[in-house]
């Protein structure tokens, strides 16, 4: 869930992958199923239980349906190949095991080909609430269920295709902001109320509550250029959540060629993570309580 433009290999990734090797071209490896310990399976079960108790009524219906239709295991780290049978049948996506964060161009190439890279290893028991880099719980539980939604599935592939272009044009920062505020931290308006679809929220117990219930953050309507101009936080809860009306809205808004849009955005001022702009459609202006005064990314 980190900003993939900043590619460093965290210690835990190095430790978990000791003695394993990945394909140097696409960073994939066979999921090392025999490396999961009883403790890992118990940690997965604890994380799964917490989120599955919390998310009904908070996560969007498409996510809850995906969890169910994919048959994501409640009691053990899922076998990727078993999951792929249902995922592939639903939308043609599949998941591939990777050692951890991978370089941007490799990431984009996977998405563009409907492959979602999933970190194979799981956090330690003392990291139930937070870890800095994505693990299998974040990547799989958080991201994969929505891939059975046809529109979201197409959006993520389109993002991958757009990645290379953004890189060549020098606008990876702007594209990464779009990913952050949609795929990782997006909210969606439904007939039943506001719901979560961002994986960074869905895999976090505390943010699953905070994003919808807290008076601190801003909640404002999605706007493509607005998102591309907005810095974000990687060390705290988000200061602003962007709300879409539907996955179709997201797909349609991001379908045009971004080349001219990047240039327009470039000419406009950047916005801080907690700023509310005059033209925003505001669902909530945050009261800013508890906001750390550390720097936005």
Residues that bind ligand PHE (CB under 6 A): 155, 158-159, 161-162, 165, 178, 254-258
Of ligand PHE, Co ion, none, which one does residue 1 interact with (CB within 5 to 8 Å by kind)? Answer: Co ion
Residue 80 or 159: which CB sits closer to ligand PHE? Answer: 159
* 109, 138, 204, 207: the active-site residue: 138
Would you give the binding string for Co ion spanning residues 196-215, x where CB under 5 A is met?
---x----------------
Task: Look up 263 and say whether it is catalytic.
Answer: no
Q: How far is the CB of 179 from ligand PHE (least distance, A)?
A: 8
Task: Look up 138 and say whether it is catalytic.
Answer: yes
Residue in the shown chain whose Cβ atom is closest to ligand PHE: 162
Stretch of 6-14, 68-76, 195-203, 230-238 contacting Co ion, by CB under 5 A = 195-203
Task: Look up 214 and say whether it is catalytic.
Answer: no
* Neighbour count for residue 29 (Cβ, 10 Å): 16
Of ligand PHE, Co ion, none, which one does residue 230 interact with (CB within 5 to 8 Å by kind)? Answer: none
1 forms part of the interface with Co ion (CB under 5 A): yes
Neighbouring C-alpha atoms within 13 Å toward the C-beta of 269: 5
* 109, 184, 207, 208: the active-site residue: 184
**Chain centre to alpha carbon of residue 159:** 12
Task: Look up 203 and say whether it is catalytic.
Answer: yes
Q: How far is the CB of 252 from ligand PHE (least distance, A)?
A: 10
Q: How far is the CB of 150 from ligand PHE (least distance, A)?
A: 15
Residue 254 or 265: which CB sits closer to Co ion? Answer: 254
Residue 199 or 228: which CB sits closer to Co ion? Answer: 199
Q: How far is the CB of 89 from ligand PHE (least distance, A)?
A: 24
Torsion of CA 191, 192, 193, 197, to 10 degrees: -90
Q: How far is the CB of 207 from ligand PHE (least distance, A)?
A: 23
Q: How far is the CB of 264 from Co ion (least distance, A)?
A: 28
Of Co ion, ligand PHE, none, which one does residue 158 interact with (CB within 5 to 8 Å by kind)? Answer: ligand PHE
Of Co ion, ligand PHE, none, which one does residue 165 interact with (CB within 5 to 8 Å by kind)? Answer: ligand PHE
Q: How far is CA 69 from CA 15, 21, 64, in A?
A: 33, 32, 9
Residues annotated as catalytic are 138, 143, 184, 203
Q: Which residues bind Co ion (CB under 5 A)?
A: 1, 199
């Amino acid at each position: 869930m980190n900003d993939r433009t900043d590619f460093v290999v965290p210690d835990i990734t190095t430790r978990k992958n000791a003695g394993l090797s990945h394909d140097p071209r696409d960073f994939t490896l066979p999921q090392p199923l025999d490396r999961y310990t009883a403790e890992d399976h118990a940690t997965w079960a604890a994380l799964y239980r917490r989120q599955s108790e919390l998310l009904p009524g908070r996560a969007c219906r498409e996510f809850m349906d995906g969890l169910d239709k994919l048959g994501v295991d409640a009691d053990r780290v899922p076998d990727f190949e078993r999951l792929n049978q249902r995922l592939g049948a639903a939308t043609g996506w599949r998941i591939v095991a990777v050692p951890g964060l991978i370089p941007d161009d490799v990431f984009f190439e996977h998405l563009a080909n409907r492959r979602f890279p999933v970190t194979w290893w799981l956090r330690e028991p003392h990291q139930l609430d937070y870890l800095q880099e994505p693990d299998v719980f974040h990547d799989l539980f958080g991201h994969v269920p929505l891939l059975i939604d046809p529109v979201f599935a197409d959006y993520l592939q389109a993002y991958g295709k757009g990645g290379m272009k953004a890189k060549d044009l020098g606008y990876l920062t702007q594209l990464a902001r779009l990913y952050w505020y949609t795929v990782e931290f997006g909210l969606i308006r439904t007939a039943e109320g506001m719901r979560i679809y961002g994986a960074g929220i869905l895999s976090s117990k505390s943010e699953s509550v905070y994003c919808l219930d807290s008076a601190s953050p801003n909640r404002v309507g999605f706007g493509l250029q607005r998102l591309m101009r907005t810095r974000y936080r990687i060390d705290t809860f988000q200061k602003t959540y962007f709300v879409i009306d539907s996955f179709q809205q997201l797909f349609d808004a991001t379908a045009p060629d971004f080349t001219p849009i990047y240039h327009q955005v470039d000419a406009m001022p950047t916005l801080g993570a907690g700023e509310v702009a005059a033209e925003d459609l505001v669902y909530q202006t945050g009261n800013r309580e508890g906001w750390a005064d550390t720097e936005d990314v």
